[in-house]
Structure 1
Amino acid sequence: MSTQLSLRIALSSIFIICSTSVFSQITKQEKDSIYIAETEEQENLPAKVLHAEPLYIDLIRDLGARKGEREWNLGFGIKDNNNYEEYETLIEYEWAVIDRLGLEVELPFTFYYDRRGVSNGENSLPSSKLEGLQLAAQYTFLVDPKYNLSMAGGYLHKFTMNAFDNYNSSRLFTGNLMSPFMVVAKRFGTNFHSLIYTGPVWERGFSGFENEFFYQINTSFHYMITGTRNFIGLEINKIIIDGNLETTLRPQMRLGISDHLMIGIVTGVPIEANNDRFSTFFRLIYEPKTKH
């Protein structure tokens, strides 16, 4: 009798474990479906596909943005150089003025610190400055929910500015940086995301001599954690300048703090041997509630 009872208890335990496992799996699938549906299938609103957005070279606005969506970003980064340390901060505001059209205003700052005491002559320390007034626009011209695909085109323009030390003796603005770009994003299933952001960049000084041109190809791959806005991924920033390819790998993660607040953490690993070393970047993302 005790043997039969033990057998029944064992079978019951196996059944409970299997049932719990199946239930948990279904729950995860339901969470993914619910989260995606909350983004994509809102009644009386234009179609939109959920994509994971890279954290270092971010987009102007979500692909397929809907009128009224807004976002504030605060960024802080540290980059180690052979001769000095570079600190970057940014303040960014982006919003969708109409469906699928996003605009952005950004103020990026760069500060330098010579903690090794080696800056002199040839190794002079760069001057800290507000990099410029950056304006950008992005329009999503393709949203395909059937294939989880979105495509957008945009333009970024920066009015470059002088160093803080030169405000009294030189002009405030020093030139223009122009960057048309294209974005293609594809989601595979419910969790895997891929994106490419590419285009040329021209920088031309008002003097006519400070000119620079390069081409950027930024690709990213992310895995979004089931039922959340959290993700882990890799952003690969590549530029082609003077016939040379320079690549930086940026492993990253995004964590949701509340319904409207997230934090992004990025590590930069340069591939080529140059003066740049490892870097770290943090992005605080605040999305106010949208009133459609």
Structure 2
Amino acid sequence: MLFFFCSALLRCYGQSPDSTQLVNRQLDSLYIHEVEDQRTPDKVLHAEPLFIDLIRDLGARKGEREWNVGLGLTDNFRYDTYTALVEYEWAPINRLGLEVELPFSFYTCNEPNGEKPANQLESLKTAVQWSFYVSERLQTTLAVGYINELHLRAFGRANRGPAVRGNTSNPFFIAAKRWGNRFHTLVYAGPLLERSVEQSKWETHWQINTNLHYMIPGSRNFIGVELNKELAHHRFQLVARPQLRVSVTDKLLVGIVTGIPIDKQSQRLSTFMRLIYEPGHRSQAAIKG
């Protein structure tokens, strides 16, 4: 927040409020035009949630790609969980996004001689997302997708059983709309179907995530909130995740998320940071030139 505040002061210094608003509107328009240019197919600029992110930009165009590195900490009652992930996402054809992700988990005990899960590479995640409806006029995009997650054995325990300990299937639906130039809403919903190698049937968890973001005038930065809701075993869980995204360079962005669980029976606060590298992003200077 300090970085953003200082940047805003530098932009505003020596300018009247009216001229600053005019410059911000021009920058907003340039950035939107950078995404919603005259190329086909159509594409609408949407703010992407930072914790449960999308497989690729909605309405992705062929050749787009992105690297993500995530680092997180969750304060549980009996132990703390440190998470790390590396993911690569790309669009092989227009409106189709693919993703491969490797999530890791590491644990430390909060109690003397306490028990904790084993450190491990959690899974191999692969995903696909298809934007089947894109309307620049309505500033709306609809998409469907599927995530498959193969859960792996903990480090050093592969000889105690199969290397794969279970599987999660997650078909999902996305509806996103931008209101004007700065307000963004998005709904991400679908079932999580889980089964371990010892189980004969699937367990179903319902996931509904709602998002509201505000794009900071004259920038690619945004602030917002992600509401992650899950219904499983007749129990409802909600975690509110206030978040912000800051553009460090033309190709590098940083996202910071705080997790606030409404039901604190199993965990307390959490934090998460996402580094986003977009090698194919074009600069505003190129647009102006």
Instruction: Work out whether the TM-score is over 0.5.
Output: yes
Structure 1 position 213, deviation (Å): 1.7
1:64 lines up with 2:64 in the alignment: no
How many Å separate the matches in 2 of 1:127 and 1:158?
19
Contact 1:254 1:262 in 2 (8 A): yes
1:129 positional shift: 1.4
Which one is further off, 85-94 or 209-218?
A: 209-218
Task: Give SS of 1:24's match.
Answer: helix
Instruction: Verify: 1:51 aligned to 2:46, yes or no.
Output: yes
In 1, Cα distance between the equivalents of 2:213 and 2:281?
25
1:288 alignment partner in structure 2: 279
Count how many residue pairs are aligned between Structure 1 and Structure 2: 268
1:164 corresponds to which of 155, 162, 178? 155
User: Matched residues in 2 for 1:72 and 1:57: separation?
Assistant: 15
Other-structure match for 2:21: 25
Q: Tell me the secondary structure at the aligned position of residue 57 of structure 1.
A: coil
Bigger radius of gyration, 1 or 2? 1
Q: Distance in 1 between matches of 2:247 and 2:264?
A: 35
CA drift at 1:152:
0.2
User: Alignment partner of 1:62: what SS?
Assistant: coil
2:10 aligns with none
Give the corresponding residue for 2:287.
Answer: none
2:204 matched to which residue of 1?
213
Deviation at residue 290 of structure 1 after TM alignment: 5.7
Per-residue CA deviations over 1:229-282 (Å, capped at 9, x if unaligned) read: 100000000000112210000000000010000010000000013120000000
> Which residue does 1:238 correspond to in 2?
229
Q: Which of 88, 93, 96 in structure 2 is aligned with 1:93?
A: 88
Q: Indicate the residue corresponding to 1:189 in structure 2.
A: 180
Aligned 8 A contact 2:250 2:281 in 1: no
Q: Give the 3-state SS of the residue equivalent to 2:23 in structure 1.
A: helix
Task: Identify the residue that residue 40 of structure 1 maps to in structure 2.
Answer: 36
1:14 counterpart residue number: none
1:44 CA displacement: 3.2
> Take 1:175 and 1:248, find their aligned partners in 2: how far apart are those partners?
25
Checking the alignment, whether the CA contact within 8 Å between 2:126 and 2:147 is kept in structure 1 is: yes
Opposite residue 168 of structure 1, the aligned amino acid is: N
What is the alpha-carbon distance in structure 1 between the residues aligned to residue 210 and residue 65 of structure 2? 24
Q: 1:73 pairs with 52, 57, 68, which one?
A: 68
Runs (5+) with no aligned partner, structure 2: 1-14, 283-289
List, as ranges, runs of 4+ consecutive aligned residues in structure 1 with deviation greater than 4 Å: none
Distance in 1, matches of 2:66 and 2:118, equals 30
Taking only aligned residues, the RMSD between alpha carbons, in angstroms, comes to 1.5
Q: Secondary structure at the match of 2:130?
A: strand
Specify the alignment match of 2:125 in structure 1. Answer: 134
The answer (yes or no) to whether the contact 2:127–2:146 under 8 Å persists in 1 is yes
Contact 1:68 1:290 in 2 (8 A): no
Task: Tell me the distance in 1 between the aligned counterparts of 2:17 and 2:68.
Answer: 39
| SS of structure 2 residue aligned to 1:239 | strand
CA–CA separation in structure 2 for the residues paired with 1:116 and 1:77: 21
Tell whether the 8 Å contact from 2:243 to 2:258 is kept in structure 1 after alignment: yes
- Distance of 1:54 and 1:289 partners within structure 2: 20
Shift of 1:211: 4.6
1:192-223 Cα offsets, whole Å, 9 max, x none, are: 00101000001111222585320000011000
For 1:101 and 1:289, locate their aligned partners in 2 and report how far apart those are by CA, in whole Å: 16
1:225 aligns with 2:220: no
Structure 1 residue aligned with 2:112:
117
User: Percent identity among equivalent residues?
Assistant: 48
SS at match of 2:224: strand
Tell me how far apart the structure 1 counterparts of residues 143 and 65 of structure 2 sit (CA, whole Å). Answer: 18
On the 8 A contact 2:251/2:281 being kept in 1, the answer is no
Deviation by residue 1:175-200 (Cα, 9 ceiling, x = unmatched): 21100000000111100001010000
Give the drift of 1:20.
Answer: 3.3
Q: Deviation string for 1:114-140 (max 9, x for gaps)?
A: 143251xxxx31122111110000000
